[in-house]
A and B are shown apart, each in its own frame.
Chain A
Amino acid sequence: MLKCNLYNKTMSRSTNITQFPQIGVTTGIVEFAKPSLSYACLRAVPALPVTAEPVTAQAILQELAKLKKDWDGYGALPVTPDSCAHAQRFLAVTPQGMTAPEITPTSNGTITFEWESSEGDAMLEIGRTRYSGHIQPKYGQTFYLQGGLATGVDQQLATEQVLAVIKELLYAGFGSGSLTHSIQITKPAF
């Protein structure tokens, strides 16, 4: 079992990941660290392709890429090719046991992914160079997620680690049930 390093504005400590939902973090931002030894553990977990649903999700993304300026009639921005590519990466590494997210464009030209399970809900907003979002377990505090997507390393970290955390908190009843990744909570980068 791996350890999870958690830091927030008021405390710094290490804790076992199985205690994650009970940690007294109220304002912590989950921001994924640069590659480390623990990241190598994450990389060792195969990103299994999910079945029929993401195929539909990919089709939705292709539709979003075609949206033109003012697609909502209220001056909405088109979704950029970069945002679409990032979103496709997230879909491509969706771990087995997670349902496909509800995918929607926003008027600011970003893409939102939303998941809902009996354990809670999560939302991820994917932009041109960064992402942000939160996980709201049914019981417990909110976890905030944010990070960059500008470089290849950022993208790989974000896609795999964010989805692993969401899976652990919302779909713990599925699959192996054991968390095999490491996260780091730091101050927000922006």
Chain B
Amino acid sequence: MLALARDLSRTASKLLNLLFELCWLMPVHVSDDERIVRAIYSPYHLDKKNNLKHQAYNPTPKTDEISVMRFEHMGARLCKRKAKCFENPAQRKVYRGFAVLKTSVVRTSDMGVVDSRRHYCGHADIKFLMQELQTLEPNEPLPAEAGKKFKDLKDSLLHASNYITDPNPQHSAWQGSKLEPPHQ
């Protein structure tokens, strides 16, 4: 019964967000069972064999955060619309699909997931919880040991991701396979 109520609430939240970009029914807390998706762009997120690279999880400079979308409250169509907004063909940044993760898995890998609706309704951040990233000098690398820790965290995100290519990136609707995280 509780699960049914939660599903109904999420469906209503999704519709409200899709139609009016309103967050009224969206809880601020990101639940452990929520799916979060990261928009993937070529060429820098993918290798030559079209596999996801750890660079797909590089944070915004001066932060330890990477942007993701709350799938349960946005749905595939709205996620794709937002992902396409951030395309930048002039800089060769082309939308390719989504990496899907489960919030609980991210949290068990010593990272945080927080709502950040100030960007837009449904936006969330994965937080690496590394102070070094926030104080990192521009255009300089992390110290070696911090760099290895950071790479390990990104690798654990890679391991927890299911990358799903969009078979029809030009279409407004999502026509690919179901956006599900990998089976753990």
Contacts and interface: CB of A to CB of B under 8 A. Distances in A.
B61 A73 contact: no
Contact of A127 (B58, B141, B151): B141
Contacts of A102: 47
A104 B53 contact: yes
B140 A127 contact: yes
B58 A132 contact: no
Interface in B7-51: 41, 44, 47
A146 interface: yes
B168 interface: no
B5 interface: no
A108 B55 CA distance: 12
Contact of A77 (B44, B55, B93, B139): B139
Given A72-B93, A76-B61, A134 B148 contact: yes
A109 B144 contact: no
B120 interface: no
Interface string A43-55: 0000000000000
B44 A104 contact: yes
Given A71-B93, A134-B147, A129 B58 contact: no
The contact size tier of chain A is 35 or more
A24 to B, nearest CB: 17
Q: By DSSP majority rule, is chain B's interface helix, strand, loop, or mixed?
A: loop
Interface residues of B, number: 29
A110 B67 contact: no
Nearest to A189: B143
Contacts of B173: none
Given A72-B93, A104-B44, A105-B44, A110 B144 contact: no
A72 B41 CA distance: 9
A110 B136 CA distance: 12
A25 to B, nearest CB: 12
Nearest to B147: A132
B140 A130 contact: yes
Interface of A: 27, 29, 63, 67-68, 71-77, 79-80, 82-83, 102, 104-110, 112, 123, 125-134, 136, 142, 144-146, 188, 190
Given A76-B58, A80-B139, A108-B138, 17 more contacts: A29-B144, A71-B88, A71-B91, A73-B88, A76-B60, A82-B139, A104-B55, A105-B44, A107-B60, A107-B61, A108-B141, A123-B147, A127-B139, A132-B141, A132-B142, A133-B141, A188-B144
